């Protein structure tokens, strides 16, 4: 029996918000769950994959993920889809049209916002998708509510006949709470109802749906006013009332325990009349919402007098201290800025870096050496760290797949005066399959002069090592068809002689290949083919060490960026020409070393040798 399902109804278990959502999806009787991995939402589908009776599937991107879930809903099944906030941008095409048609079986879309930008390129507020798409938006504050609201979302979806968005944040996704769980439901089969006037989104059909959408909006507004998910927390001080939702409501309760709070469980449609009635019981009303002023602006547009972002910060999480200090200033108190914690400790800086032996180290080492003659368009993944020290080998990075398309624009706009300068797009294997294929097709079609580097490490590494169509395995670890990247890019029109698969650990060969392809005036593709060192697909090689007496302090090995290489001492010397030169003598932490050989290729004095020479046949240079 599956251990996850052994807890009887009413049992209590410690779960994160992501795990609680997964449990509720299973309890709701969902037949299908889809997602594309992305922090902070990744663990929802990973957890669902361990439950029976739910077909959990990774998709190549969020649009595909949502469309698969929509298809299951139209067939009458309950379906679920999860993504992070920027993934909703990718899924928006399907979302906006299907929102008009609605759904058949319950369809719940969980979107996880990264308030505070812990691991994302922006802080967009997904609550606006509820308003934009005319869809209900539920917003839990902790794991227990994440569980309860997910169940409620499925029921609401089938009651009203439209998808329901469950808005999470990093705080809800990852913080654990004791959750009371239940048994799995068995929703009656609905089957597919053939109705082309509803499901075929021709303009004539869509126009007929607009009045129905208006009627649905009225129903949703009425349901929001009486939603049991919205509750009032009593307070003895009626001089200031708070309207809050999500984790911000919990911070507000802790920061201002005497203030009454109307805690919104459904943040779209905004229950304007209920908030208006609550506001009449207090002297002043403050809307506590993280990032954008969605509720505040809706209330002001309805003529409700409220305070909001004129009092509270617009960016980042609303912590207890932030709320307490902001309200104190509102009440006229002088609040001192937080006292400095004292001088920073004198420690060596530790910026984010790649792992020891990462197959991305060598490509960025090579690109850093070609830096003066190359523009480098980067993408989203572990390799985004190539923008940092010591490589500094990235000029742009916007969103998934944009490396290839932005590289095309860079190449097209350079003009004749800079025609010799090459443009390189760097993209990972999962990101290429997510949104990079269309960009490469566009490059070929428009004959752009770009070299595309696909760094294939056979996993979605940045979010924890998930599977994708290029790994050869599905979410359950079962074998699945694996994409042949060489054949794929050739099928897109890249000439066979311009497609190269290369071992990134063969650093001299990789360097020569990049230099060669950046000088060819047509689309070329370089595919690195070593797996991520944190997966079981990687076979570590025997570790290396430094012969200290042979090390000249040149520091060339440091420029690979491998964190297993450590500086033991620095010296300054004077060259024959009279210039000062800093030397950095190193050692290799053999416990971390994976024996990738990249540093050996940079070491002119041959000071890097096998820790156990007999076990390291690759090191022909030594």
Residue positions forming the annotated binding site: 551, 554, 557, 562, 593, 596, 599, 603
What would the DSSP string read from start to end of 480-522? -----HHHHHHHTT--GGGEEEE-TT-HHHHHHHHHHHTTSSS
593: alpha, beta or left, given left = phi > 0 and alpha = psi -120 to 50? beta
Query: The tokens of 618 are what?
Result: 């690759």
- Whole-angstrom distance between the N-terminal and C-terminal Cα of the chain? 55
Whole-angstrom distance, CA of residue 603 vs CA of residue 600: 5
Long-range contact set of residues 190-195: C-beta below 8 Å, sequence gap at least 24:
190/76, 190/77, 190/104, 190/105, 191/75, 191/76, 192/74, 192/75, 192/76, 192/104, 193/76, 193/104
Question: Quick one: how far is CA 442 from the chain centroid?
Answer: 25
Angle at 239 between CA 236 and CA 245, to 5 degrees: 80
Q: Is the CB of residue 404 less than 8 Å from the CB of residue 378? A: no
Say how many C-beta atoms besides its own lie within 10 A of residue 5's C-beta.
17
Count the Cβ atoms, other than its own, within 10 Å of residue 201: 12
- DSSP strand E in 265-348: where? 266-268, 284-288
* Whether the bond into 563 is cis, omega within 30 of 0: no
Rg of the chain over Cα atoms, rounded to whole angstroms, equals 28
User: Residue 376 forms beta bridges with which residues?
Assistant: 424
Residue ranges of the binding site for [4Fe-4S] cluster: 551, 554, 557, 562, 593, 596, 599, 603
Q: What is the DSSP string of 85-103?
A: HHHHHHHHHHHHHHHHH--
């Amino acid at each position: 029996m599956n251990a996850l399902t052994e807890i009887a109804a009413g049992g209590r278990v410690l779960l994160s918000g992501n795990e609680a959502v997964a449990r509720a999806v299973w309890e709701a009787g969902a037949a299908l769950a889809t997602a594309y991995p992305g922090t902070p939402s990744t663990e929802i589908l990973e957890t669902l994959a361990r439950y029976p009776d739910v077909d959990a599937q990774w998709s190549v991107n969020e649009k595909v993920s949502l469309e698969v879930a929509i298809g299951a809903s139209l067939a009458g099944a309950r379906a679920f889809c999860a993504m992070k906030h920027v993934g909703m941008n990718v899924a928006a095409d399907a979302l906006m049209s299907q929102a008009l048609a609605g759904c058949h079986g319950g369809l719940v879309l969980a979107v996880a916002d990264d308030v505070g930008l812990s691991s994302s390129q922006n802080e967009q507020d997904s609550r606006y998708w509820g308003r934009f798409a005319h869809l209900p938006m539920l917003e839990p504050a902790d794991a227990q509510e994440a569980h309860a609201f997910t169940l409620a979302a499925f029921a609401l979806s089938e009651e009203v006949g439209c998808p329901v968005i469950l808005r999470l944040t990093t705080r809800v996704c990852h913080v654990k709470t004791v959750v009371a769980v239940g048994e799995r439901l068995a929703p009656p089969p609905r089957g597919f109802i053939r109705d082309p006037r509803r499901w075929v989104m021709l303009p004539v059909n869509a126009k007929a749906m607009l009045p129905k959408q208006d009627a649905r909006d009225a129903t949703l507004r009425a349901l929001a006013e009486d939603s049991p998910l919205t509750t009032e927390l009593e307070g003895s001080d009626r001089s200031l009332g708070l309207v809050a939702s999500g984790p911000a409501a919990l911070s507000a309760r802790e920061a201002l325990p005497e203030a009454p709070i109307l805690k919104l469980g459904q943040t779209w449609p905004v229950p304007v009349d209920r908030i208006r009635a609550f506001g009449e019981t207090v002297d002043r009303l403050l809307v506590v919402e993280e990032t954008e002023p969605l509720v505040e602006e809706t209330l002001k547009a309805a003529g409700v007098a409220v305070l909001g972002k004129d009092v509270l910060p617009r960016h980042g999480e609303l912590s207890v201290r932030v709320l307490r200090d902001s309200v104190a200033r509102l009440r006229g108190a002088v609040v001192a800025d937080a006292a400095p914690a004292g001088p920073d400790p004198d420690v060596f800086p530790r910026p984010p870096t790649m792992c020891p032996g990462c197959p991305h180290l060598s490509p960025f080492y090579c690109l850093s050496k070609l830096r003066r003659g190359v523009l480098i368009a980067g993408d989203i993944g572990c390799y985004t760290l190539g923008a940092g020290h010591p490589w500094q080998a990235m000029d742009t990075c916007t969103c998934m797949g944009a490396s290839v398309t932005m590289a095309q624009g860079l190449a097209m706009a350079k003009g004749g005066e800079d025609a010799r300068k090459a443009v390189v797009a760097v993209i990972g294997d999962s990101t290429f399959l997510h949104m990079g294929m269309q960009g490469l097709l566009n490059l070929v079609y428009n004959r752009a002069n770009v070299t595309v580097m696909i760094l294939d490490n056979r996993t979605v590494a940045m979010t924890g090592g998930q599977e994708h169509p290029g790994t050869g395995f599905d979410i359950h670890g079962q074998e699945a068809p694996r994409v042949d990247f060489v054949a794929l890019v050739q099928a897109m029109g890249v000439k066979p002689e311009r497609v190269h698969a290369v071992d990134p650990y063969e650093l001299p060969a990789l360097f020569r290949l990049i230099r060669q392809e950046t000088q060819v005036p047509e689309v070329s593709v370089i595919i690195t083919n070593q797996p991520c060192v944190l997966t079981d697909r990687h076979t570590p090689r025997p570790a290396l060490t430094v012969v200290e007496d042979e090390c000249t302090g040149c520091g060339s090995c440091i420029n690979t960026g491998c964190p297993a290489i450590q500086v033991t001492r620095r010296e300054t010397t004077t060259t024959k020409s009279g210039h000062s030169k800093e030397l950095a003598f190193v050692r290799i932490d053999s416990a971390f070393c994976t024996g990738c050989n990249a540093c050996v290729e940079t070491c002119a004095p041959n000071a890097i040798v096998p820790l156990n020479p007999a076990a390291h046949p690759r090191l022909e240079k030594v």
